[in-house]
Amino acid sequence: MQQTVPSKGALSGLLVLDLSRILAGPTCTQILGDLGAEVIKIERPGRGDDTRGWGPPFLKNADGEETAESAYYLSSNRNKESVAVDLASEEGQGLIRRLAAKADILVENFKVGDLKRRGLDYETLKEINPKLIYCSISGFGQTGPYSHRAGYDFLIQGMGGIMSLTGFDDEDGGTQTKCGVGIADVMCGMYATVSILAAVHHRHQTGEGQYIDISLLDAQVSWLINQGVAHLVSGEIPGRLGNGHPTIVPYETFPGADGPFILAVGNDGQFQKFCDVAGAPDLATDPLFSKNAGRVRNRKTLVPKIRRLTIEREAADWIRDLEAAGVPCGPVNDLGQVFTDPQVLARAMKINLPHPVSGSVDLIGSPIKMEKTPIDYRKAPPVLGADTQDVLKRHLEMSDSEIAELVERGILDLGKATPAKGN
């Protein structure tokens, strides 16, 4: 059991009951935990969060053996306490109601109606705790014709339109492509976090809790941003542009002699500077290319011209000279390069926390930098059930014998000293 360390973060004193799993909900609750809230993660005895088994890779113990701690699970579950409770049992449901009576926030991502059948829905729990902020995260929301459907990130990326904008055009041998990470889940989790914090502020003013309905599809449609509004304004269906930008040119990857680099020209002045560095000042004065609107309309003529220029020099040379001239540019880093980048390291975006299985574990840091209440990394993602006894004794004043009896009946899981192997 990892010791519970009091937080001094911005949300210290708030108690979050986390009934979510996979990525959207855990992303939300990890942010709340990073900001100082106490987060109690409710998991299934013996199995836990689905993502514990989503590997390899799995964390290795001191002997180099794979454990049950997948990298996927580790990505979104720090600053939480794992309590393993059987929600199918009446006793387990009763324990959750008792915890909900003390909680400030509850986050769940069960299928619509599942928790109502167990007496753990908002309407039931608000009678116990009127100040409770209850956030439901689902694939399609609590209303509408798709509300009963299960939603996964890949499915939502397709249905929400982002895949139709991602990838190279058919004529370039491309196809619709999902983002390389579960961005629909992550963005949904962030919208959930914003909503919860707004509800906390409302409660400060009124004393009222409230219900929050957040869906992956809604979140995905929301962050279509400029492309979505461009369609609504023009009626046109945007196509795939590979690494290009729909309304800025040149703004994509270009080939150096040894590999690609990014050129991100945001205005006409920067284009002039690029052309000077490239030894092609005539491009900047050409009436077809001198203004961004012209460059966008004539991208199929201009981009090949630029590619013929950039291929003559190595990417690092372009980056050095363009940076010196004030032209935005940069490398296309793999993840090994990202996590050794001096800027990434200087900003503490790679962190290391003690872990009961491996000794320590490297994790991605939080991008939130706050002066008065900095992010608080109190504990690594917990082993399944590691905090069950501590949380129930501390918050519900349960005795060791009461807990032991529920463990014996399989309603609680106190975790294992050595987690099972990931396979």
Q: Are 422 and 70 in contact (CB under 8 A)?
A: yes
Mean pLDDT of all residues in 113-137: 97
Query: What's the chain's Rg over C-alpha atoms?
Result: 25
Q: What mean pLDDT comes out for the span 7-25?
A: 95
Instruction: Decide if pLDDT at 418 tops 50.
Output: no
**How far does Cα 351 stand from its chain's mean position?**
17
Number of structural domains (the chain) is: 2
Which amino acid type is present at position 300?
Answer: K
Residue-level pLDDT at 172: 86
Percent pLDDT > 70 in the chain is: 97
Give yes or no: 213 in active site: no
Same domain, 280 and 349: no
Q: Which residue has the higher pLDDT, 28 or 150?
A: 28
pLDDT in tens, 289-317: 999 999 999 999 999 999 999 999 999 99
85 and 150 together in one domain: yes
Same domain, 325 and 350: no
Domain membership of residue 6 (yes or no) is no
Residue-level length of the chain? 423
- Tell me the helices (H) and strands (E) count for the chain, helix number first: 19, 14
Beta strands in 3-117 (DSSP E): 15-19, 38-43, 58-60, 66-70, 81-85, 105-108
- 65 and 167 both lie in a single domain: yes
**What is the Cα–Cα distance from 390 to 412, expressed in whole angstroms?**
12
Q: What is the CATH number of the domain that holds 357?
A: 3.40.50.10540
- Residue 333 pLDDT > 50: yes
Say if residue 400's pLDDT is above 90: yes
Per-residue confidence band for 207, with pLDDT thresholds at 50, 70 and 90: very high
d(CA 160, CA 124): 33
Q: Is the pLDDT of residue 329 over 60?
A: yes
The mean pLDDT of 332-336, rounded to a whole number, is 97
pTM of the model: 0.93
Residue whose C-alpha is closest to residue 260's, from 182, 189, 332, 329: 332
Give me the domain span that covers residue 263. Answer: 251-334
Contact assessment for residue 45 and residue 84, using Cβ atoms and an 8 Å cutoff: yes
Task: Tell whether the model's pLDDT for residue 260 goes beyond 70.
Answer: yes
Of 292, 315, 334, which one is at a domain's C-terminal end? Answer: 334
**409 pLDDT band (50/70/90 cuts)?**
very high
* Averaged pLDDT, 378-393: 96
The answer to whether residue 36 sits within a structural domain is yes
- Same domain as 351, residue 318: no
* Whether residues 90 and 217 fall in one domain: yes
Q: Which of 334, 364, 395 is the last residue of a domain?
A: 334
CATH number at residue 296: 3.30.1540.10
User: Is the same domain home to 402 and 288?
Assistant: no
Residues 37-84 have pLDDT tens digits of 999 999 999 999 999 999 999 999 988 999 989 999 999 999 999 999
pLDDT beyond 60 at 1: no
pLDDT at 417: 47
Residue 278 lies in a domain: yes
Co-location of 100 and 159 in the same domain:
yes
CA distance 247 to 158: 23
Active-site position among 18, 185, 387, 413 = 185
Structure tokens that stand for 225 in this block? 């941003």
- Is the domain of 315 the same as that of 349? no
